[in-house]
Structure 1
């Protein structure tokens, strides 16, 4: 039996400070995730009683934005689990957070391509035992593009799509090609090291950072600690090197089959609200008359509504899922 890599041991030792975090191996990569289960399920487990078998219940999977990590879902996970009766999972995508960052891989197994990110999300669910469940995908920015791509590639897997500040057009899914080429080089890694720790999380992703509680004491550290871990800058550079935008809108006829909730902020400095409206109109053009599709703009909100307007975002998500019949019959007060 081979010994675990130094990177794995280090990631596990640092992540151990948070007892809610766990690791699972997906395609030979150690992935970091958290899971929230309904409070009434927790009570049953504490009393050593079996959980109810609810085949009609989907599982909810949250996918964070570029340069983010699962911490961004901190305000949504448990309330969403309690309100819906679903298990809610958030994980660190490859290259981010506490998930392992390989710099070598077998031929055809490059983990830093966009199609690999789609496959990784699906295989993570399988490894966690949810492979037969329908999935509510909650994706932010680039995570929304991955969510839509899962729907396109695995149409039988998806229950619904909740797109938060989504990047759906090729030009919106990442830096322009020239910038990606530079960031994917050795000199680009030096630039990343010089800029990211100083400025991450980027204030421009928010309407007003002063409205975010514990910005200095909690939010900054939770975004910056992963930058100090092995292979972070190498992984981000590799992600840029192999980045090819996902084709979402050309396959919108598949995406339109599912209930869609689209949420954006009115002060999104990364993708202006007008661009969001344009992308939304293109996404839903030609949708069936009975399609369940909703669009909301949150006031005084930037690119990350789940961070800046968590309660408003949570209410929109819960109300949307309730309309689809996803709610908890045993919601704890």
Structure 2
């Protein structure tokens, strides 16, 4: 029996992480080496350091953080540990397929394309199970398309969901990505060349923020770290495939299902990607079919764009914690 050697890409990613980010870890999910970080409350960390057994708290959910397209788990740097300490929950942030330090497959079996939005839904669930939290409810905190993935899980697997915290959510077909012609172009060879030129120059996209000057260390730390994945193996190929196979998730036609779990809908007042008025329209549409006892609410953050977790991290943290406390974490 022969042992299959790890791919060069896996070895390269592991070497980068081991030398630059000791808090990061890898777990295999559906055959893909996935980069993640896990935060646990201080009391649990102390037990772990003493090599003592961490107590099983069956009434505590696990919190899963899902980033936006062209983001990665770094976007949750201000929230990962504070959420764990304040709630007593374990909190997971991971790099979605095609982003960050997660492996980017070059080949896949028929019917198992990892670059579809449908695959992203099942991937998130499997990640939680593979990390040993299969028996727990999940609090989903998702931004933009990460929020869309969270909503589809709530629609299809409500028994897994404790609550939803949606930041600048992209829930309609038109808001989840480029139009079909744009996806066709970006999924082609010329489109890949365009991506290399555009992303190298503009990532992270300034239009997603109200004011990048309000973000501490934006030029010296935030911007460079968001650009690191551009230098990693197969980034442009994988992102091109993501665009090529991108089919928006069906969400709003199942809006009644979304009202069955507690929901916080959190937006910036200067969201240039999806205007605040459009967000209000979508939220009101969901709320219109909610039962009288539904726990759904919208909050608007002033002087903030499409990525509140980057631009107003403390306000986002406070609003999420207040919401989770009120829905019984």
TM range (shorter): over 0.9
Out of 3, 6, 27, the residue aligned to residue 4 of structure 1 is: 6
Q: What is the SS of the residue equivalent to 2:59?
A: coil
The within-5 A match list for 1:176-191 is 176-191=179-194
| Deviation string, structure 1 residues 192-237 (Cα, Å, up to 9, x no partner) | 0001011100111111101101111211121111011111111111
Aligned position for 2:255:
252
Instruction: Report the counterpart of residue 36 of structure 1 in structure 2.
Output: 39
What TM-score do you get using the length of structure 2 for normalisation? 0.98
Does 1 or 2 have the higher relative contact order (CA < 8 Å, sep 6+)?
Answer: 1
Shift of 1:155: 1.5
Query: Per-residue deviation at 1:151?
Result: 1.1
Q: Structure 1 runs of 4+ off > 6 angstroms? A: none
Residue number in structure 1 paired with 2:17: 15
Q: Which residue of 1 aligns with 2:157?
A: 154
Matches within 5 A, 1:30-179: 30-179=33-182
Cα contact 2:192–2:236 (8 A) shared by 1: yes
* Gaps in structure 2 of 5+ consecutive residues: none
- Aligned match for 1:225, one of 218, 223, 228: 228
User: How far apart are the structure 1 equivalents of 2:49 and 2:128?
Assistant: 25
Q: Distance in 1 between matches of 2:67 and 2:258?
A: 19
**Number of matched residues?**
326
Alpha-carbon distance between aligned partners in 2 of 1:285 and 1:14, rounded to the nearest angstrom? 49
**Cα distance in structure 1, aligned partners of 2:50 and 2:234:** 43
- 1:276 equivalent to 2:284? Answer no
CA offset at residue 168 of structure 1? 0.3
Shift of 1:48: 3.1
- In the TM superposition, residue 313 of structure 1 has moved relative to its aligned partner by 0.3
Deviation per CA, 1:37-61: give whole Å up to 9, x if none: 0011112222333222200100000
**CA RMSD, 1 decimal:** 0.8
- Contact 2:167/2:308 (<8 A) preserved: yes
Say if 2:269 is the partner of 1:266. yes
- Structure 1: gaps of 5 or more residues: 327-333
Structure 2 residue aligned with 1:302: 305
Q: Deviations over 1:10-59 (max 9, x none)?
A: 11111221011000000110000001100111122223332222001000
